[in-house]
Structure 1
Amino acid sequence: MKITKFLLLIWLFASTLFCLNLFAQDYNRWQLPEGAKLRIGKGELNDIKFTPDGNRVAVATDIGIWIYDAHTRRELALLTGNTKRVTAIDFPTDGSFLVSCSLDRTVRLWNIDTGEQTAVFAGHRGSIGSIAVSPDGKTVVSGGTYDTTIILWDVATGNQIKRHSKYWDNLFRRLKIYLDRSITMPDSNAIEALAFSPDGKIFASGHRDGTLRLWEAQTGRKLSTVGDHKSTGIDGLAFSSDGKKLVSCTRTQEILLHTFQNGKHESRHFHYVPFPQDLVFSPDGNDLFGIGYLGGDTIGRQPYIHKWNVNTGGLLMSTPTPDTYQIKSLAISPDGSTLLSGGWGDTIVSWNPVTLEHSIFTTGHGTVGKTLQFSPDGKILNTISGKDKLKFLDTETGAEISAPQQKRYSTKQKSKTSQRRISAEYIKERTAIRIFDIETGTDMYHITGHKDIIWRYSFSPDRETLATTSKDMTIRLWEVSTGKELLMIPTYSSYTTAITFSPDGKTLAGGGVYDRAQKSLNLIRVWEVPGGRILKTIAGHTEGVNALRFSPDGRTLASCSGDGTILLWDWEEISQSDK
């Protein structure tokens, strides 16, 4: 009897571990695009915010908005609906909804308890890079990165309260930038940062030319223009909790503390750090945290988390981040006990604001790869991710695994062409391809038919056909033995940068194709070979497709994208579905 109970306990314990592991990986299948069976990576990170009660964390990424439990650090939900990158997010004081903005030109409201999208505001003519919601949740302000427009929205109705797109108070600054040939700055009025005051009466906008503007929140009327920054690109704005202080930083060199008393504006500098970004106050207003470098060899190589004393402007602490990639966002919990940082690296890092000691909050928000290769049995996918790190991924779970034991695999020579061991390389600054015999090194011929840079080439499995894709908006097929052009396929995009043949050589997939009906440059299209008939157009990535690869059995198509994900598509199912 005792043995039976003991065995039962062991079984229950093992079952629990299995279920926890299964749940941990289950998010890889949340909100998948049609035809996909697995997602690897959570999307590149753009913004982080705590809910006002501090119990959850929202993370804006290229594929949607992830919701985490702030205490267990477990994934709770993935909010999707945007067709492009989600650039910024914010909460009102009561946390009743989440507001987001995107490169798809929309502002969206979300219920994070249900995952429901409750409203969509459209009015920008270009991408939106910044968003802020008033503390009472009645007003949202959005700032255009390309259309230079500020729109004040009524949350209840979705109507525009005020719209600003032309600015005449910075003509001298804009002329100075124009005459300075060392500066290249498109759309100098673009809005880079937005922030509401804690009482909700005003909001601030930071612009690419270094201009700071204050606005009346109720009417959208401009109150004042602050031109104290000597450098360009205001990349961070934050009000203190009492509303008496506003900090702003420019992308290259300055952090300014602004105070407004008795109708007078004063500003002073904080201790200098190179390339400061994304400032946050501690809840008590005594400390300021930001991202930047230390100078010298650290610039562009090793980001730091910095901590300043607000009263003196002195730098208190600087600690290097675990990731050496650019950090994009900081967020501090309402009780001031936790600071989160995240960016183009793989991790979101949790910091102790007092000591700046850190731990890993979660992983999966970095770049995923620029090459793809299946193992012969299709169970492992390897990719070269950021900074040329080779990763091995389980194609069933998406989990990273240790490097498998190396094996040698022989391939049967199927044609006279492959027996000659022919290879290819880019020449003439990638505007042509040299085809040569590997054994002798002698040239056979050069492919010169493209009118612009050649992004990628791919041999068919039998080595009889070579496919090339170019910035000239075409994919072309070439007969390897002669160099004769067999087919030209229009892609309607200058950035179709990925191509691959299926194992049987009867289909060709291209990534980064444009489709007018879907208004997207991030599509995958599959053609019949050698005829060129379109078989399928696959949508799912929100950024460009970097690489494509079929599994050895031809049933799975893998795609990796600049959106920070690898998607595994069920090609067998997709190819049999209605066109």
Structure 2
Amino acid sequence: MKHIFTQKHILITTILILTLTNIIHAQEANKGFELPEGATARLGNGSINKMQYTQDGTRLALTTSMGIWLYDTINFTPIYLLKKHENDAIFLAFSPDGSILASAEHPGVIHIWDTNTGKHKHEVNNEGGTNRIIFSRDGEKLGVFGVNGSVRLWNTNTWEEIEVFPDLVHLHLDGIRSLDFSSNSFMLAFGNNVGIISTVEIFSGEETQTYLQHAGMVTSLKFSPDDDLLASAGVDNTIRVWDTNSAELKLLIEKQPGANNLTFSPDSSLLASGYSTGDIILWDVQTGEQRQVMKGHFGRVKDIAFSSDMRTLASASMDGTVRIWNVFTGKELHAFEDHYGHFTCFDVSSDDKTFVIPIYEPVGCLWDITSGKLENIIGMNAYYYAQDIAFNPTGDIIAFVSIENYISLLNRETGKHLKRLVGHDHPVASVVFSPDGKMLASGSRDMTVRLWDAIALEEKHVLKGHKKEVNSVAFSPDGTTVASGSKDKTVRLWDANTGAEKLVLDEHESGVSSVAFSPDGTTIASVADTPEIYLWDAATGEPKKVIDGDESGVLSVVFHPNGNVIATGGQSGVVELFDANSGESVGKFPGHWKKVTDLRFTTDGNKLVSRCDEGVLYVWDVAGI
């Protein structure tokens, strides 16, 4: 009996060991950046906000629109993608031993992570929002500077609030344009819009020094690691280094337009400055001489960080890369790619080979749809935050609209601007070519739909009738009808030749966000950030069916080329497929972390592309539907 009992225990113990081993292996396999089930490619890894090395220089963390990426800087591989924030994580800080990472969003939510396991440890809600976070030198405190001008200190063992220092500064009233928060002494530095810099000691709340010499706005501030120096850059095209004890100017570097993101080396002997050109310059703090000029980025530098051993420097840019440089030679060692901005919209070429995707900076990315690789980058002139973008049917012309009142046309291959179509009184939200490429429709916040001759590049008709801004426009497959969805809760159908209003579809209880025609032109689908998906008879305007979709609200809708399936994207981040005849759900693709606003099928119907507010695109395999 004793022998049997022992065998049983051995068997149970063995099973437990195997089970625990499988759990551990499963946890190790789940790094957070794997493609979700059903996805064949991901385009983009989220736009970069801030970055920081661990103290030992072996890892680099980036806060992005997709989450917090943790990279191995020895082997240049991703370790984890940490996702918990509902809003974009902006600020981050490592504990001195590198075992803990804190990430923060502006509203005040701070998440605490174990960097060895990638596990979430704690959530801190900082009253007053978040504008900077730092660990104390001993790692026992987390200091948080809030958007309300207060500083709160948190115990990093219990995550209880220790002390509050309120109203140290009024950021907006005082015209503050730059700041830094020292982990060495919890000292604050502020630079305002008229060139005045001041430092504040948080425990007394008193201003310790005032620096008066910048002629205009201060754009960047940085304490040296020992707090003995303070570097500043301004619109007067100068970089200045100050003694924080005496407020004496120690170094003046002139003729530095666009200098920003100042960063001291760990021993304070070097100062790095980044530029809108993408260059990084290393300066000798004692002499002001240039030590290195690092060239490789083609977009504005967003952040700079030194490794603790000073062998490498990391730089993040609007060109979508984080580059690792050898400090002594100035040579690039590696580039972490695919952080190409916060994609705002996209389109797929009619040959199913290429995406076009604008990013925040004035460039657009052309990607190969099969491999997910970047093909080309084209200039898109001075725009900000593109609202919509569209290929013409032959794929050689791209139309895009931003927060301006016009539509821009450019050549796909050369990026050359062909024409601005001017006529709208307010920003344009949606643009689409007719199936034959001879017309262009646009919808605007000015409550109008406009039809343009895409050959002569001139306005044909102004369609008036909507009572609020127009969010979405679509052509029927034969090009004779235009559908428009508006914030006034209606879908309107227009004659594309005469501009006359044909029908008003008015069953929605909220503003219409997306409209789409079926491939045969007999049905119109529309959604309005509610669970309901309306299918309308395009000839009579009568509702044919109402499908219950995402309970959190459906924002985007598109028909499959076979006409039997519709795809929707909603607030929950789930892409869902429905049978257009029965209304039944025939497939779900969870994977996006934020709301899905744009969808496109390839013309062969084998792939579905979705975009969400993370600024990331997924390509889904839908060949089996």
Task: Assess same fold via TM > 0.5.
Answer: yes
* Residue of structure 1 equivalent to 2:583: none
Task: Supply the distance in 2 between the matched residues of 1:542 and 1:224 (Cα, whole angstroms).
Answer: 43
CA offsets 1:319-359 (integer angstroms, 9 cap, x no match):
36423322111011111011111121122122222332324
Task: Supply the distance in 1 between the matched residues of 2:49 and 2:364 (Cα, whole angstroms).
Answer: 22
In the TM superposition, what is the alpha-carbon distance from 1:119 to its structure 2 partner? 1.1
CA offsets 1:479-529 (integer angstroms, 9 cap, x no match):
436423433556669xx6x76556566565779x699xxxxx998444999
* Residue of structure 1 equivalent to 2:175: 188
Task: Supply the distance in 2 between the matched residues of 1:235 and 1:228 (Cα, whole angstroms).
Answer: 14
Task: Supply the distance in 2 between the matched residues of 1:477 and 1:187 (Cα, whole angstroms).
Answer: 49
Whether 2:448 is the aligned partner of 1:423: answer: no
- Out of 60, 63, 68, the residue aligned to residue 60 of structure 1 is 63
Q: 1:427 to 1:151 in 2, by over 3 A?
A: same
Match of 1:54, SS? coil
Whether 2:262 is the aligned partner of 1:247: answer: no
CA offsets 1:358-383 (integer angstroms, 9 cap, x no match):
244211112375653445675x3421
Contact 2:348 2:602 in 1 (8 A): yes
Contact 1:130 1:142 in 2 (8 A): yes
* Residue of structure 2 equivalent to 1:237: 222
* Residue of structure 2 equivalent to 1:44: 47
- Out of 319, 342, 349, the residue aligned to residue 293 of structure 2 is 319
* Residue of structure 1 equivalent to 2:11: none
| Aligned residue identity for 2:600 | R
Contact 2:467 2:488 in 1 (8 A): no
Task: Supply the distance in 1 between the matched residues of 2:173 and 2:515 (Cα, whole angstroms).
Answer: 33
- Out of 242, 246, 259, the residue aligned to residue 276 of structure 1 is 259
* Residue of structure 2 equivalent to 1:459: 475
Mapping for residues 102-141 of structure 1, pairs under 5 Å: 102-126=105-129, 128-141=130-143
Contact 2:98 2:115 in 1 (8 A): no
In the TM superposition, what is the alpha-carbon distance from 1:60 to its structure 2 partner? 1.3
Q: 1:534 to 1:439 in 2, by over 3 A?
A: closer
- Out of 468, 471, 490, the residue aligned to residue 484 of structure 2 is 468
Q: 1:544 to 1:323 in 2, by over 3 A?
A: farther
Contact 2:92 2:103 in 1 (8 A): yes
In the TM superposition, what is the alpha-carbon distance from 1:101 to its structure 2 partner? 1.1
- Out of 93, 107, 114, the residue aligned to residue 96 of structure 2 is 93
Mapping for residues 147-226 of structure 1, pairs under 5 Å: 147-167=148-168, 188=175, 192-197=179-184, 201-206=185-190, 211-216=197-202, 220-226=203-209
Q: 1:508 to 1:192 in 2, by over 3 A?
A: farther
Contact 2:393 2:435 in 1 (8 A): no
Task: Supply the distance in 2 between the matched residues of 1:101 and 1:462 (Cα, whole angstroms).
Answer: 50
Whether 2:280 is the aligned partner of 1:259: answer: no
Whether 2:407 is the aligned partner of 1:391: answer: no
| Aligned residue identity for 1:215 | E
Q: 1:148 to 1:499 in 2, by over 3 A?
A: farther
Contact 1:347 1:365 in 2 (8 A): yes
Q: 1:571 to 1:129 in 2, by over 3 A?
A: farther
Gaps of 5+ in 2: 1-28, 378-391, 396-433, 532-551, 561-565, 574-591
Match of 2:182, SS? strand
In the TM superposition, what is the alpha-carbon distance from 1:275 to its structure 2 partner? 3.2
CA offsets 1:26-50 (integer angstroms, 9 cap, x no match):
9998266898664211111111211
In the TM superposition, what is the alpha-carbon distance from 1:457 to its structure 2 partner? 2.4
Whether 2:541 is the aligned partner of 1:567: answer: no
* Residue of structure 2 equivalent to 1:287: 270
Task: Supply the distance in 2 between the matched residues of 1:408 and 1:113 (Cα, whole angstroms).
Answer: 50
CA offsets 1:537-564 (integer angstroms, 9 cap, x no match):
2434678977542333556542346744
CA offsets 1:397-436 (integer angstroms, 9 cap, x no match):
5334699xx9979xxxxxxxx8998734449996523347
| Aligned residue identity for 2:264 | F
| Aligned residue identity for 2:260 | Q
Contact 2:190 2:221 in 1 (8 A): yes
Match of 2:273, SS? strand
Contact 1:88 1:102 in 2 (8 A): yes
Count of matched residue pairs: 492
How many percent identity over aligned positions?
23
In the TM superposition, what is the alpha-carbon distance from 1:291 to its structure 2 partner? 1.2
Contact 2:139 2:156 in 1 (8 A): yes
Match of 1:196, SS? coil
Query: Between Structure 1 and Structure 2, which shows a larger proportion of helix residues?
Result: 1
Q: 1:129 to 1:553 in 2, by over 3 A?
A: farther
Task: Supply the distance in 2 between the matched residues of 1:203 and 1:236 (Cα, whole angstroms).
Answer: 12
- Out of 303, 310, 315, the residue aligned to residue 341 of structure 1 is 315
| Aligned residue identity for 2:572 | A
Task: Supply the distance in 2 between the matched residues of 1:106 and 1:462 (Cα, whole angstroms).
Answer: 51
Task: Supply the distance in 2 between the matched residues of 1:49 and 1:419 (Cα, whole angstroms).
Answer: 49
Contact 2:292 2:329 in 1 (8 A): no
Contact 2:490 2:504 in 1 (8 A): no
Task: Supply the distance in 2 between the matched residues of 1:351 and 1:228 (Cα, whole angstroms).
Answer: 33
Greater relative CO (CA pairs within 8 A, separation 6+): 1
CA offsets 1:215-266 (integer angstroms, 9 cap, x no match):
35xxx442534331544455332323x44333344566454433345xx543
* Residue of structure 1 equivalent to 2:346: 372
| Aligned residue identity for 1:64 | G
* Residue of structure 2 equivalent to 1:144: 146
Mapping for residues 25-40 of structure 1, pairs under 5 Å: 30=33, 38-40=41-43
CA offsets 1:144-192 (integer angstroms, 9 cap, x no match):
34x4443322222323333345247x8xxx9xxxxxxxxxx67835874
* Residue of structure 1 equivalent to 2:493: 478
* Residue of structure 2 equivalent to 1:328: 302
| Aligned residue identity for 2:220 | D
| Aligned residue identity for 2:317 | G
Match of 2:253, SS? coil
Match of 2:90, SS? strand
Contact 2:42 2:619 in 1 (8 A): yes
Contact 2:99 2:116 in 1 (8 A): no
Mapping for residues 549-564 of structure 1, pairs under 5 Å: 549-552=600-603, 556-560=607-611, 563-564=614-615
Whether 2:105 is the aligned partner of 1:84: answer: no
Contact 2:132 2:146 in 1 (8 A): yes
Task: Supply the distance in 1 between the matched residues of 2:470 and 2:346 (Cα, whole angstroms).
Answer: 19
- Out of 50, 60, 72, the residue aligned to residue 69 of structure 1 is 72
TM-score, scaled to structure 2? 0.65
Task: Supply the distance in 2 between the matched residues of 1:225 and 1:504 (Cα, whole angstroms).
Answer: 73
Task: Supply the distance in 2 between the matched residues of 1:258 and 1:442 (Cα, whole angstroms).
Answer: 57
* Residue of structure 2 equivalent to 1:307: 282
Task: Supply the distance in 2 between the matched residues of 1:253 and 1:81 (Cα, whole angstroms).
Answer: 40
Contact 1:368 1:560 in 2 (8 A): no
* Residue of structure 1 equivalent to 2:5: none
| Aligned residue identity for 1:447 | L
| Aligned residue identity for 2:258 | F
CA RMSD of superposed structures (Å): 4.6
Task: Supply the distance in 2 between the matched residues of 1:401 and 1:149 (Cα, whole angstroms).
Answer: 47
In the TM superposition, what is the alpha-carbon distance from 1:141 to its structure 2 partner? 1.9
Contact 2:210 2:247 in 1 (8 A): no
In the TM superposition, what is the alpha-carbon distance from 1:474 to its structure 2 partner? 5.4
